[in-house]
Amino acid sequence: MGSLQDMIERVAGVGPLIEADAERISEQRRLTPEVLDALRDIGVFRIARPSDRGGLDLTPLETIKVLEAISYHDGSTGWVSMICCDGEMYAGMCIDQGIIDELYGEPDQLTSGWMVPVGRAERVEGGFRVTGRWSFGSGILHADRIVGGCMVTEGGAVQSRPDGRPEYEAFFLPTDQVTIHDTWFTTGLTGTSSNDYSVDDVFVPANHRFDFFSDDVTRHPLSAYHGFVFAKLCAVPLGLLRRAVDEFIEFAETKMLVPSFQLAKTEYRVQFALGSAQADLDAATAYVDRVMTDLWDAVTNGGLPTYEQRTALARMNVWVAQTAKAAIDRLCEEAGTMASMRPNRMERIRRDATMVTHHVIGQQRMYATAGQMTFGTEGLFQPF
């Protein structure tokens, strides 16, 4: 399908369409059909598909760069792309690899869902009876496949793993039996349709499941380490910050400030806000490059990431999200009223960046998770 540079050029080609539809995406709380078709056409949802199956076979770092390029044009479009390109990675985690063609016979399918095991999967003959309601099903209105994390039960009792932890797995839910609840009314990332969804006692075949938190070096590298799924979150704030910097430069070169009646670019505070934001962007880019390169090298050399490498990933995501938001806030403060008025692009960027920091991986409390990992005291649900 093409190299990283090919994909960056293709994203640039559909960028004007994404930007033209961005306000409509925000108002309708979902991608427009035109944008969705364009993303499919350029191969966004086959990023994690192996090349021998018609996929792009990009590394996780290359994937982040593509998603950053999409987020530059619109945060919601970047977020949906980031979440919904995971399907082939999930399929690669299935114990029964023969199921991949059944689930993902078509290369450009979107997958939505939430891995947190809030559902219940009762083991029965031939499979499981699944019941549950999940939140944050980003892109679910566009999804061809929907997954949900569950505790595994027998006779209603939660089962345990050999290490004493609860047994939890993720399930490919029968899409036609999933109820979508219209709950996504938010400040930012409004176009992601990240609604709640539920199923009630639906049957799922035994081979339509995967152990998301179990890593395995014998699988394809993209499916070997589950942290690659969460690593992509940083792409959205990177794209938002890069666009905010460009928008701010245009503002500073063309707008007069009151009461000085000088171009904004002549003001010290404007210069400081721009320089510090550019430094933050440079630092974030370098941070992501280093962490992701280390992780990928570990997996492609036949092993799994070290504990320190996984802890670095936990720190990286929250630092990038929080740093981007703070930099965007400073730029918007210096831009003044125009950055608070719709449909000004800076206003939407600020709202989207704020929303990223509300995601569990982008919240400051994730630093505590990184600290727990360092001390070896992390909890049952370990995203990295």
Lowest pLDDT segment from 100-104, 121-125, 204-208, 243-247: 100-104
Q: How far apart are CA 286 and CA 275, in angstroms?
A: 17
In the predicted model, what is the mean pLDDT of the chain? Answer: 94
Q: What pLDDT score was predicted for residue 68? A: 98
Q: pTM for the complete prediction?
A: 0.96
Lowest pLDDT segment from 64-78, 248-262, 318-332: 248-262
Best CA proximity match to 231, nearest among 372, 364, 59: 59
Q: How far apart are CA 346 and CA 331, in angstroms?
A: 9
Bond prior to 174 in cis (omega within 30° of 0):
no
pLDDT confidence of 380, banded at 50, 70, 90?
A: low
Which residues 6+ apart lie within 8 Å of 9 measured at CB?
none
DSSP 8-state class, residue 215: -
Helix (H) or strand (E) holding 318: helix 307-335
Lowest pLDDT segment from 42-51, 248-257, 347-356, 374-383: 374-383
User: CA of 101: how far to CAs of 91, 105, 106, 107, 223, in Å?
Assistant: 9, 4, 8, 10, 16
pLDDT confidence of 98, banded at 50, 70, 90?
A: confident
At residue 107, does pLDDT exceed 90?
A: no
At residue 171, does pLDDT exceed 70?
A: yes
User: CA of 207: how far to CAs of 56, 128, 165, in Å?
Assistant: 26, 10, 22
Residue-wise pLDDT tens digits, 222-281: 999 999 999 999 999 999 999 999 999 999 999 877 777 789 889 999 999 999 999 999
How much is the average pLDDT of 152-170?
Answer: 93
Contact indicator for 248, 346 with CB cutoff of 8 Å = yes
Amino acid identity for residue 380 in this structure = L
How much is the average pLDDT of 289-316?
Answer: 96
Q: What pLDDT score was predicted for residue 57? A: 85
Q: What percent of the chain has pLDDT over 70?
A: 98
Q: What pLDDT score was predicted for residue 83? A: 97
Helix (H) or strand (E) holding 111: strand 111-124
How much is the average pLDDT of 160-174?
Answer: 92
Q: What pLDDT score was predicted for residue 1? A: 47
Residue with tokens 């799922």: 204
Q: Per-residue DSSP letters for 133-183? A: EEEEETTGGG-SEEEEEEEEEETTEEPB-TTSSB-EEEEEE-GGGPEEE--
Q: Please give the residue that has the higher pLDDT: either 163 or 40.
A: 40
Best CA proximity match to 356, nearest among 67, 119, 143: 67
**End-to-end Cα separation, the chain, in angstroms:** 30
At residue 69, does pLDDT exceed 90?
A: yes
User: CA of 202: how far to CAs of 208, 220, 241, 279, 382, in Å?
Assistant: 13, 30, 43, 51, 27
Q: What pLDDT score was predicted for residue 53? A: 87
List the domains of the chain with CATH numbers: 4-91 (1.10.540.10), 108-210 (2.40.110.10), 225-375 (1.20.140.10)
Q: How far apart are CA 1 and CA 307, in angstroms?
A: 34
At residue 359, does pLDDT exceed 80?
A: yes
**Bridge-based pairing state of the strands 111-124 and 145-154:** parallel
At residue 379, does pLDDT exceed 70?
A: no
Residue-wise pLDDT tens digits, 294-304: 999 999 999 99
Q: How far apart are CA 126 and CA 260, in angstroms?
A: 75
How much is the average pLDDT of 105-131?
Answer: 95
Best CA proximity match to 331, nearest among 250, 245, 263: 245
Amino acid identity for residue 315 in this structure = R
Lowest pLDDT segment from 53-62, 207-216, 261-270: 261-270
Best CA proximity match to 212, nearest among 197, 223, 198: 223
